[in-house]
Chains A and B, each alone.
Chain A
């Protein structure tokens, strides 16, 4: 399978995603410079974390105007798999590929620590290797991960089962204290209507190897591979 990692000026998890796809998942991977306007024959795209354009103005607000973004939107519209992690999630929101917006963390502080996530849906390209309601441990690192949307959007997210991951306690309870940033309904990751675009604040690429203290992130990439394999069959 061929993955593309989009590199914006200020992206800083691009190399981490590249490493996981290439060295851990053993798949083909290429960087895509943000000034490009077309895409090769990729099977999946990763919008990595970081501070694209310094996150000046608002997180992801400038990156959405990058020359590559029309091609990314087109790829998504044609059903291609797109995962936006952290800043990548913020860019997907700004680009309109996912609904809602990000506010600053409730604490008004950057927060870097492992969190527990409840897998709310396993019939997506990003979670099919996980069990229903399975609790996974993945680190977050962000200053603006406080997901917000209006009531109508929230209702449609729920009605269409677009909430894929929510923050929870180690034993799976969706309590407010398990939420690192104050996001609405403990939302950590959502997908689009068709399910082929996922945005999530936690960083699966940071915990895909035992040496780094956990492997739960591995299953997200492995889910993508599994999905692509089945789609190709």
Chain B
């Protein structure tokens, strides 16, 4: 194997000098490799850590914030939810099937490492335009990879989102979220155990796959990236399923002091993370590591990212019982080293010392950079775009075009490839509401989950867009009747060394932090993926929000489908008119510009509180938040889901129809209710300071829109349904 230079490993000259200072000598090749993966953005967060400090991370519901394998929140009755979202963008770009599959595997391990039974997966995906053959291949491979892995594990994939935009051409985003359920007194934390405790490696054998995966994930994609295909790991979901069952059994029986999964940077990272918890050291003998290939060097063994492996630190005296449980599940567990007290990470090959570095230097020692930020010129240019300079198109044609846009159209092609019902807890199925809802057996409780981010909005205005992502997540949960409790995020950006990108990061994080703080939904876990760029430039800044919430009574859940004819349809929130960043501008005018609608956090919070109250009182029969495609698309979706037409009659008072119908202004939802209940709704909305506009009523087989009595859209429900349901499938044939 040709040796890499430190620059090829992604270290700067300055960082290399730091390593020499720490060691008091030149590092050998193994040590250099260990530093380079631990000091990569992926493991060390060196470009993002100062910005991440802005997130609110505390609240009465928070049991564990950032810093562990996943965040933990209290859902009462002695139970807790464990959740996190993580990226697998770079691997998926060059090997979509395995890249996506192992992304699921990695996030699932983070959850059961905490002692939680994984109960649901979600994913947030971004691709280039769907008419491109390469994009179709990526899309097909990623969805199949997520499906095959999660389906085999028997963890339902209950929700998520998919967007298509040229900004992601060549650099797709694959963010996987997993949620677990655990009894509060059974949460497992990463600890190193006592001095002399053995380190057991369990699961798959170690191969040469994935070496320098973390480094690869921390650089831009290029033509040469394809050569990094060996950096992509290969998944074995069956092995992972056995690991889940065996590890949860160990925790139930209270046999382990600590557990750590092997993810990015493999043994190096998991051992360092585990040892750093108590300032301990470790002594590892790589010759004891079971391998699937011959002739592997200590460097390759320590940096391998072979999947489905766990590091277990037994409680003293329990080694035999642990071995018995692994044997039951047909897994090999091998002692590969022990915990020491000297703070050094010592790697041996048999009797020979192969490398030795201070544990703390690998973890806390990772350099941190505050980069230069500069507002990019496009920001002001886009804000000053004059929407009124555009001609207004035929609204009926626009609506059909929007419903056929892959960003709005049904994601049936995706979610029917995911087993979303295994475990028999999925109460609100994919596509039926703004968030997935799962029951918690043995209680009346329900858990609601969603992922959200509109990358275009974040691009046009990172601060507003960051707020929007958090607000939409919280609103989606409120629409199903669940109180949003906390969030996890996956911050996907371009190269932070570019001041314009760093500015996007800084502003988006500021927006997210402000909204999360205001709405009382702290950030409990997350992941950063930078260098999402190809030769054509950076992706849209895409800070994905995974929101988790709770319904006290699952029978109070609300879905988007209109339930019966003869109900009123109301808009909750202001009538928006801003078209900046809208799907309408993109689909119908080919424009991604404009001043994005501004978030008013007070209004958002009021709406959320009102929605929760309405669900509790059972006042509304359906609810759907307004996002891509605006008011018109939202109402149409409610009609499609319920297979009921409607008659919307508004007074536009001279305002352009496209502005009112297709604005994506935040803090709004469409609801339906029995006619007699309108006064009650009005009274309640007034109490919460939320505007209510009566839009019309449900019924018939046509989707009708009128302006002060004059009809201007009249489309059969059946036609709109087909257009919306089959749009993605038509692309994929």
A binds B: yes
User: Per a CB cutoff under 8 Å, which of A9, A12, A19 touches B153?
Assistant: A12
Is A110 a contact of B419 with CB atoms below 8 Å?
A: yes
Tell me the chain A residues, 180-233 only, with Cβ under 8 Å from chain B. 203, 205-206, 209, 211-213
A203: nearest chain-B partner, CB-CB: B421
Q: How far is the CB of B629 from chain A (nearest CB, A)?
A: 25
Chain A residues touching B, range: 20 to 34
Tell me the chain A residues, 1-29 only, with Cβ under 8 Å from chain B. 9-10, 12-13, 15-16, 19-20, 23
User: Per a CB cutoff under 8 Å, which of A51, A141, A209, A212 touches B237?
Assistant: A51
Is A16 a contact of B422 with CB atoms below 8 Å?
A: yes
Q: How far is the CB of B181 from chain A (nearest CB, A)?
A: 13
A35: nearest chain-B partner, CB-CB: B328
- Report Cα–Cα, A19/B439, bound state, in Å: 14
User: Per a CB cutoff under 8 Å, which of B144, B236, B422 touches A13?
Assistant: B422
Give the residues in chain A near B147, CB-CB below 8 Å: 110
A13-B154, A16-B424 known; A112-B419 Cβ under 8 A: yes
Give the residues in chain B near A139, CB-CB below 8 Å: 421
A209: nearest chain-B partner, CB-CB: B424
Give the residues in chain B near A113, CB-CB below 8 Å: 416
- Report Cα–Cα, A49/B422, bound state, in Å: 9
A211-B554, A212-B426 known; A9-B237 Cβ under 8 A: no
Is B423 a contact of A16 with CB atoms below 8 Å?
A: yes
Q: Taking the complex as formed, is A61 at the interface, i.e. its CB lies under 8 A from any CB of chain B?
A: no
Give the residues in chain B near A12, CB-CB below 8 Å: 152-154, 241, 422
Q: How far is the CB of B56 from chain A (nearest CB, A)?
A: 35
Q: Taking the complex as formed, is B503 at the interface, i.e. its CB lies under 8 A from any CB of chain A?
A: no
Q: How far is the CB of B420 from chain A (nearest CB, A)?
A: 6
User: Per a CB cutoff under 8 Å, which of B152, B330, B415, B424 touches A51?
Assistant: B152
- Report Cα–Cα, A203/B422, bound state, in Å: 9
Give the residues in chain A near B419, CB-CB below 8 Å: 110, 112, 141
Q: Taking the complex as formed, is B53 at the interface, i.e. its CB lies under 8 A from any CB of chain A?
A: no
Q: Taking the complex as formed, is B441 at the interface, i.e. its CB lies under 8 A from any CB of chain A?
A: yes
**The 7 residue pairs across chains A and B that have the minimum distance between CB atoms:** A12-B154, A54-B238, A51-B152, A141-B419, A16-B424, A112-B419, A113-B416
Is B151 a contact of A15 with CB atoms below 8 Å?
A: no
Is A51 a contact of B423 with CB atoms below 8 Å?
A: no
- Report Cα–Cα, A113/B432, bound state, in Å: 13
A50-B154, A212-B427 known; A112-B417 Cβ under 8 A: yes
Tell me the chain A residues, 71-115 only, with Cβ under 8 Å from chain B. 109-113
Give the residues in chain B near A109, CB-CB below 8 Å: 144, 417
Give the residues in chain A near B422, CB-CB below 8 Å: 12-13, 16, 49, 141, 206
- Report Cα–Cα, A20/B151, bound state, in Å: 20
Q: How far is the CB of B238 from chain A (nearest CB, A)?
A: 3
Tell me the chain B residues, 228-260 only, with Cβ under 8 Å from chain A. 236-239, 241-242
Q: Is the interface of A mostly helix, strand, loop or mixed?
A: mixed
Q: How far is the CB of B158 from chain A (nearest CB, A)?
A: 11
User: Per a CB cutoff under 8 Å, which of B242, B421, B554 touches A141?
Assistant: B421
Is A9 a contact of B421 with CB atoms below 8 Å?
A: no
Q: Taking the complex as formed, is B378 at the interface, i.e. its CB lies under 8 A from any CB of chain A?
A: no
Contact with A along B302-317 (1 / 0, CB 8 A): 0000000000000000
A16-B424, A112-B418 known; A54-B329 Cβ under 8 A: no
Q: Taking the complex as formed, is B598 at the interface, i.e. its CB lies under 8 A from any CB of chain A?
A: no
Q: How far is the CB of B725 from chain A (nearest CB, A)?
A: 12
User: Per a CB cutoff under 8 Å, which of B236, B417, B418, B423 touches A15?
Assistant: B423
- Report Cα–Cα, A56/B237, bound state, in Å: 11
Is B421 a contact of A51 with CB atoms below 8 Å?
A: no
- Report Cα–Cα, A60/B429, bound state, in Å: 29
Given contacts A51-B152, A110-B144, 19 further A-B pairs with CB under 8 A are: A12-B153, A12-B422, A16-B422, A16-B424, A19-B424, A54-B152, A110-B148, A110-B419, A111-B416, A112-B415, A112-B417, A112-B418, A113-B416, A139-B421, A141-B419, A143-B148, A211-B439, A211-B554, A213-B429
Tell me the chain A residues, 112-126 only, with Cβ under 8 Å from chain B. 112-113
Question: A9, A16, A110, A206 — which one has the most chain B CB atoms within 10 A of its CB?
Answer: A110
Is B241 a contact of A212 with CB atoms below 8 Å?
A: no
Q: Taking the complex as formed, is A53 at the interface, i.e. its CB lies under 8 A from any CB of chain B?
A: yes
- Complex A-B: 23 CB contacts under 8 Å: A9-B238, A10-B152, A12-B153, A12-B241, A12-B422, A16-B423, A51-B238, A54-B152, A55-B238, A110-B147, A110-B417, A112-B417, A112-B418, A112-B420, A112-B421, A141-B151, A141-B421, A203-B421, A211-B427, A211-B439, A211-B554, A212-B427, A213-B427
Give the residues in chain B near A203, CB-CB below 8 Å: 421
Question: B424, B426, B441 — which one has the most chain A CB atoms within 10 A of its CB?
Answer: B424
A12-B153, A50-B154 known; A205-B416 Cβ under 8 A: no
B152: nearest chain-A partner, CB-CB: A51
Is B421 a contact of A53 with CB atoms below 8 Å?
A: no
Is A206 a contact of B421 with CB atoms below 8 Å?
A: yes
Give the residues in chain A near B418, CB-CB below 8 Å: 110, 112
Contact with A along B420-461 (1 / 0, CB 8 A): 111110110100000000010100000000000000000000
Is B237 a contact of A206 with CB atoms below 8 Å?
A: no
Give the residues in chain B near A205, CB-CB below 8 Å: 424
Tell me the chain B residues, 145-164 only, with Cβ under 8 Å from chain A. 147-148, 151-154
- Report Cα–Cα, A133/B554, bound state, in Å: 35
B416: nearest chain-A partner, CB-CB: A113
Tell me the chain A residues, 124-183 only, with Cβ under 8 Å from chain B. 139, 141, 143
Give the residues in chain B near A55, CB-CB below 8 Å: 152, 238
Q: How far is the CB of A144 from chain B (nearest CB, A)?
A: 12
B240: nearest chain-A partner, CB-CB: A54
Give the residues in chain A near B242, CB-CB below 8 Å: 9-10
